[in-house]
Amino acid sequence: MKIVALFPESVEGEENQILNTKKAIGLKPFLEEKGHELVILADNEADLDKHLADMDVVISAPFYPAYMTRERIEKAPNLKLAITAGVGSDHVDLQAAGEHNVGVVEVTGSNTVSVAEHAVMDLLILLRNYEEGHRQSEAGEWNLSKVGNDARELQNKTIGIFGFGRIGQLVAERLAPFNVTIQHYDPINQKDNEHSKFVEFEQLVATSDAITIHAPLTPDTDDLFNYNVLSKMKDGSYLVNTARGKIVNTDDLVELLEAKHIQGYAGDVWFPQPAQADHPWRTMPRNAMTVHYSGMTLEAQQRIEDGVKDILSRFFNNEPFQDKDIIVDGGQITSKSYKTK
């Protein structure tokens, strides 16, 4: 079979990274010894289209996605499987995949702790005004009044978690020792747990001092945090988004940060990815943005490698995938998290 995989370009001397064109999460020997062809791509838009006609499997990570649009799926008659080397399969048109009998599977759980830790870090960075303190340190400044003016404690704040699945629950567990009030909204998981109380979406938005987004990108969440919702957040509140860039409206966020209605925004997800050099979120006020790597720790990369190999082995042996990993199967979107209302 012909397997096409897109990976970020490798860099000389960075030997720990396995999710790149050089190491390709160990897929080269793994596939070649089984007699399959592996094509490794480094540039999505330029290269992917050349292989659509005869590829059987496509593999890419959400950090550096191969956007499998309806158009591309329709030009790939042999395509049977799209594997997400990580978590979050919105870069594949799931509806079109179902219609064309392309299975979509991901390595569910592979990087959930990594992302949860990153979200907690982002909340601290924003509330403690870390970016300004660090900027002054590098710039040779010592302007304590300027940094202190917006430095706050996390304790006693109300933190809203939007999307209370694997990552959302890990975030709640990790935040609990900070003595915060935690509340969540999730259309499917409406139960309270020991750390967090379920509230309706409007209440989450209106009463949280900071919101952290952990829902998938679906037609329901696409552009949900637009002017209408952002302007209803508490004046001076914070927003963290390690889920998907498209859940937040690019220009509306910039406008409300400039107006100081939103005090700070952090996260690592953009649309499209890689983000263009002049993307407004790179330079908007009080941002703590990073490139998409929260789920790409070295530990997570190893789990992704193991998970992708497990998925491929099951596929070649005609064995069922693990239920947790299946997003689209038998022509249907079967994952609860991706089913829309």
Ligand X SMILES: NC(=O)c1ccc[n+]([C@@H]2O[C@H](COP(=O)([O-])OP(=O)(O)OC[C@H]3O[C@@H](n4cnc5c(N)ncnc54)[C@H](O)[C@@H]3O)[C@@H](O)[C@H]2O)c1
Could you tell me which stretch among 67-75, 242-250, 256-264, 314-322 binds ligand X (CB under 6 A)? 242-250
Catalytic-residue membership of 95: no
Catalytic-residue membership of 273: yes
Q: Does 264 bind ligand X (CB under 6 A)?
A: no
Q: Does 173 bind ligand X (CB under 6 A)?
A: no
Alpha-carbon span 48 to 67, nearest angstrom: 9
Alpha-carbon span 313 to 31, nearest angstrom: 10
Three-state DSSP state, 18: coil
Candidate list 55, 76, 83, 87; residue touching ligand X; CB under 6 A: 87
Could you tell me which stretch among 24-32, 39-47, 121-129, 160-168 binds ligand X (CB under 6 A)? 160-168
Q: Does 242 bind ligand X (CB under 6 A)?
A: yes
Could you tell me which stretch among 31-39, 80-88, 134-142, 280-288 binds ligand X (CB under 6 A)? 80-88
Catalytic residue among 183, 273, 287, 301: 273
- The answer to whether 155 and 179 have CB atoms below 8 angstroms apart is yes
Catalytic-residue membership of 78: no
Residue whose C-alpha is closest to residue 207's, from 199, 218, 196, 195: 199
Query: In whole angstroms, how close is the CB of 247 to ligand X at the nearest point?
Result: 9
- The answer to whether 94 and 338 have CB atoms below 8 angstroms apart is yes
Alpha-carbon span 249 to 270, nearest angstrom: 11
Q: Does 269 bind ligand X (CB under 6 A)?
A: yes
How many helices (H) and strands (E) the chain has is answered by 12, 14
Catalytic-residue membership of 317: no
Alpha-carbon span 76 to 192, nearest angstrom: 45
Candidate list 65, 98, 165, 264; residue touching ligand X; CB under 6 A: 165
Burial class (CB in 10 A: 0-12, 13-18, 19+), 206: middle
Q: Does 284 bind ligand X (CB under 6 A)?
A: no
Place of tokens 């992708």: 308
Could you give the string, one character per residue 97-136, with x where binding to ligand X holds by CB under 6 A and - elsewhere? --------------xx--x---------------------
Structural tokens at position 268: 């690592």
Could you give the residue numbers annotated as active site? 111, 244, 273, 292
The contact set with ligand X (CB under 6 A) reads 86-88, 111-112, 115, 162-168, 185-189, 214-218, 220-221, 242-244, 268-269, 292, 294-295, 337
